[in-house]
Chain A
Amino acid sequence: MTKIDFSQPMRQSVKGLFLIFIQEGKKVIKTFWPVIVPVLLKKGSHDKLLIIGVILLAGILLTLIHAILYFRNYRFHIKNQQFILKKGYLNKKILTIPLNRIQNVKTSQSVLQQFLGVMSLEIDTAGTARKELKIHALSKTLAVQLARELSSQLEIEQTTDGINEEESVSGEVQILRLSNRDLLKIGISQNHFRTMVILLLLGLQFFNKLEEYFEERAKEYSYEILQFLGESSWMFFGLLVLVFLLIAFLYSMIRTLVLFYDLRFLKMKQTYRIVSGLLNKRNLLVPFHKIQQLDWETGPLKKLFGIYRVNIRQATSDLTPAAQLIEIPGCLSKHIELMKNDLFGSDELKDQQVIHSSKVYFKRNWLFLGWIPAGLISPAFFFEWTYIIPALLWIVLMGFYCQLKQRKSHFQIDNHQIRVSSGAISHKFKQMEFHKVQHLQFSQSIFHKKRGVASLKIGNASGFIRLPFIDDKVAKSLYDYLLYYAETSNKSWM
């Protein structure tokens, strides 16, 4: 491969013009669809087709001009150990990133990009959130070389061959590869109730949006639906829940397939590499020292299959959870042991004493989740006394739930690291080393002061770990110790 000179300002691949056009077109449609849809749906105008045609043509033309101007004014180069990106034709913008501030460089390819033979390159800097640092259309060779150039300051450069696509590098060990059967297990053992709630909320949001435009119609329909619901029995309600669960189940299966198809989890010296995806192949490099925290989780169904979901958390500027945590579903316990050993050394926490959250944690949770919601609907008892039964049932149910939560809330520490357990129905673990600590919060309400209970929040560059309702003396001395540890440690934390 010929070496490309990055010191001269350069543009994206010309093929990318099409991509930019599509992208900007999408943005235009996204912003203007509330205006466009009513026009399209308006009845009775004679030259409707003509109007639509004119709007469409004007839209396409304007977007095309915009895309060309955008493309021509989008330039980047590397100078004085800085990556400089200039963009915009009306509002000119110059972004400068010192190479040593770069945390991670990612390349990816969507279906369309694969078709066009271009790649996205994303630069990750910890600190402030910046979404603009993604170049969408680079030719493959350029992307690979630029990624290598940019990550020259990172340690991974020496260990792996930059961002190599498919081929595995010699010396790389495969830890885990998910087969289609594994994917099936993972899909089945997702939390379908949570997915259902998310989908329902999304649906409601969509319904609200629709309602704004078709207000009268929607009112009519929703009245009919309500009437229908009122008249029909509990059976129907149960059936509805079942249908939604089925939809949620299908959704989980598809999501699992799309995200984790042919997932390969590889290790080379001090770096993990994760390759996965059906439509969008992602290829992530994670150097060990960038990892802030390791989470693993199992649930009733996952337990049945003996699988865990692992999340590797690292520091990023991107605030979306997807960027901060790298999900590896379908790990077996031996994989977790291996990762723990890689990241935290031999497991010394195992023999440490388990410190539980106080009983106060249970009482407070039960009060907030059980008694207060039941109390809030109590005025309804005056109208229909039978409502007492579900309310009581709710309190009992929440009692059990909070009991489970209480039992799983504990942690273990040694001189250098902490492992925290939490969860109610599922069981979650989080582990981190103390030199990653960057922020500490101690909190205590006046009701809990005399009981000697307090909570501690331990922050790292990827989020935080909470120790709820522990002995306040323990919390205080941990606070002082961790602060001391972070201030005296000279290990790199990011």
Chain B
Amino acid sequence: MTNDFSNSIIPPENLPTLEAADFNPLDPKYLKLIYIRLTITSVIMLLSGLGFGLLVKDKFPVFAYWIIGGFMLISLAYSFIISQLSFPYRGYLIREKDIAYKQGLIRFTHTSIPFIRIQHVELIQGVIAKQMNLATIKIFTAGGSSDDLSIPGLPIEKARQIREFLTGKISSDDKD
């Protein structure tokens, strides 16, 4: 199939390819941020689960609570483990003409947007992220599609730099 495929398309010589090894890793502090967020959600989930359990204590048989509680614990543990294991797979790459982000251990994806198709760029900082000097860059394309690109876990100076760079690219390419 592949051979037939390359017959129909004639790509120019040495078409640049996206190699996973070239990507820049995210700031290791971002992993800590993920842990803090997960801990907060776990505490809220467990507390509300406990509260709910006490409220409807006698309505269901005991084993139902064990199953639900166990399920909650397992899913929380899973989120912690998967965040840790998949962290090295996250990364971004800025090339001469496009920007890319990759992620995922179980389902690996990488996404690219050419600079000339970017509509605007946002820099976002949450409360906890602000304490850790981290920021997220969000890149929007036309049509308000939800599949825009966002790069979390950037040191704030780096994020500002990238935003400046990208906005510079957009306005210099803007012909109208």
A interface with B by C-beta (< 8 Å): 100, 126-129, 292, 315-319, 324, 352-353, 355, 413-415, 437-446, 449, 457, 459-464, 471, 473-474, 476-481, 483-484, 486-487, 493-494
Q: Which of chain B's residues have a CB closer than 8 A to the CB of A464? A: 145, 147
B142 with A483: CB separation less than 8 A? no
Q: Is B148 an interface residue (CB 8 A)?
A: yes
CA distance A330 to B112 in the complex (A): 38
Q: Which of chain A's residues have a CB closer than 8 A to the CB of B18? A: 479-480, 483
CA distance A315 to B16 in the complex (A): 29
What per-residue 1/0 map shows which CB atoms of B1-22 lie under 8 Å from chain A? Answer: 1101111111110011110000
Known contacts A441-B110, A479-B112, A486-B114; A127 and B8 CB within 8 A of each other: no
Q: Shortest beta-carbon distance, B87 to chain A, in Å?
A: 16
Q: Is the interface of A mostly helix, strand, loop or mixed?
A: mixed
Q: Which of chain B's residues have a CB closer than 8 A to the CB of A462? A: 143
A443 with B1: CB separation less than 8 A? no
- Size category, B interface: 35 or more
Tell me the residues in window 60-99 of chain B with beta carbons closer than 8 Å to chain A beta carbons.
97-98
Closest 9 CB pairs of A and B: A438-B117, A461-B143, A443-B109, A461-B142, A126-B142, A487-B97, A445-B107, A441-B111, A315-B143
B108 with A459: CB separation less than 8 A? no
A413 with B143: CB separation less than 8 A? no
**Additional A-B contacts beyond A128-B120, A443-B109 (6; CB < 8 A):** A128-B119, A353-B4, A437-B114, A439-B117, A444-B107, A479-B112
What per-residue 1/0 map shows which CB atoms of B107-139 lie under 8 Å from chain A? Answer: 111111111110110000000000000000000
Q: Which of chain A's residues have a CB closer than 8 A to the CB of B147? A: 439, 441, 457, 459, 464
CA distance A444 to B115 in the complex (A): 25
Q: Which of B10, B107, B117 neighbours the largest number of chain A CB atoms within 10 Å of its CB?
A: B117
A477 with B5: CB separation less than 8 A? yes
A476 with B108: CB separation less than 8 A? no
Q: Shortest beta-carbon distance, B6 to chain A, in Å?
A: 7
Q: Is B36 an interface residue (CB 8 A)?
A: no
Q: Which of chain B's residues have a CB closer than 8 A to the CB of A494? A: 142
Q: Shortest beta-carbon distance, B24 to chain A, in Å?
A: 18
Q: Is B44 an interface residue (CB 8 A)?
A: no
B143 with A445: CB separation less than 8 A? no
Q: Which of chain B's residues have a CB closer than 8 A to the CB of A353? A: 4-5, 7-8
Q: Which of chain A's residues have a CB closer than 8 A to the CB of B148? A: 439
Partner of B143, one of A352, A355, A460, A480: A460
CA distance A481 to B115 in the complex (A): 16
Partner of A446, one of B8, B97, B108: B108
CA distance A473 to B107 in the complex (A): 17
Q: Shortest beta-carbon distance, A489 to chain B, in Å?
A: 9
Q: Which of chain A's residues have a CB closer than 8 A to the CB of B7? A: 353
Q: Is B47 an interface residue (CB 8 A)?
A: no
B16 with A480: CB separation less than 8 A? yes
A127 with B144: CB separation less than 8 A? yes
CA distance A464 to B145 in the complex (A): 9
CA distance A369 to B109 in the complex (A): 23
Partner of A486, one of B8, B104, B117: B117
What per-residue 1/0 map shows which CB atoms of B142-155 lie under 8 Å from chain A? Answer: 11110111000000
CA distance A471 to B140 in the complex (A): 29
Q: Which of chain B's residues have a CB closer than 8 A to the CB of A437? A: 114, 117
CA distance A126 to B97 in the complex (A): 22
Partner of B119, one of A126, A413, A457: A126
Listed A/B pairs (16) with beta-carbon separation below 8 Å: A127-B119, A128-B119, A353-B4, A353-B7, A437-B117, A438-B141, A438-B142, A439-B141, A442-B109, A446-B106, A474-B2, A479-B18, A483-B98, A486-B117, A487-B114, A487-B116
Q: Shortest beta-carbon distance, B71 to chain A, in Å?
A: 14
